[in-house]
């Protein structure tokens, strides 16, 4: 079954350049090489409507797993295999697993 892992983060105050360098040039590739995640991509909030987004940076990971509980368990179990940067504010970061419930729709 396909799952999307949504991770919202922000840099530690005054460390945005370090945070972006770490996340883009090290962290995503380390996650892909140490977990069951199959793809990763980052985004930055540039506009919003409705409820306020709590954090400005988004990382989306794709993963295949029979049990959705396996996804975060695997991410947590492999954490020691990855560099942990203090430029990422771990106090405010959050991760959510969304599981596929229907087919992908694409524009013709």
What's the CA gap between 28 and 45, in Å, rounded? 18
Domain ranges of the chain: 2-99
Query: Average pLDDT over the chain, rounded to whole?
Result: 98
Query: What's residue 2's pLDDT?
Result: 96
Q: What is the pLDDT of residue 53?
A: 97
Distance CA 42, CA 20 (A): 10
CA distance 64 to 14: 36
pLDDT of residue 67: 97
| Class at the top of the CATH hierarchy for domain 2-99 | alpha beta
Q: Give one word for 71, left, alpha or beta, with left for phi > 0 and alpha for psi -120 to 50.
A: alpha
pLDDT at res. 19: 98
71: enclosing H helix or E strand: helix 69-77
pLDDT digits (tens, 9 = 90+) for 41-54: 999 999 999 999 99
**Are residues 61 and 4 in contact, defined by beta-carbon separation less than 8 angstroms?**
yes
Report pLDDT for 82.
98
The mean per-residue pLDDT over the stretch 85-98 comes to 98
């Amino acid at each position: 079954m396909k799952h999307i892992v949504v991770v919202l983060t922000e840099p530690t105050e005054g460390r945005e350049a370090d945070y972006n360098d770490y996340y883009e040039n090290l962290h995503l590739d380390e996650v892909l090489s140490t977990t069951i995640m199959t793809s990763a991509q980052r985004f930055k909030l540039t506009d919003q409507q409705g409820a306020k987004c709590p954090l400005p940076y988004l990382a989306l990971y794709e993963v295949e797993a029979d049990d959705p509980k396996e996804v975060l368990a695997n991410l947590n179990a492999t954490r020691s295999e990855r560099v942990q940067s203090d430029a990422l504010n771990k106090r405010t970061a959050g991760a959510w697993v969304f599981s596929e419930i229907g087919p992908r729709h694409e524009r013709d």
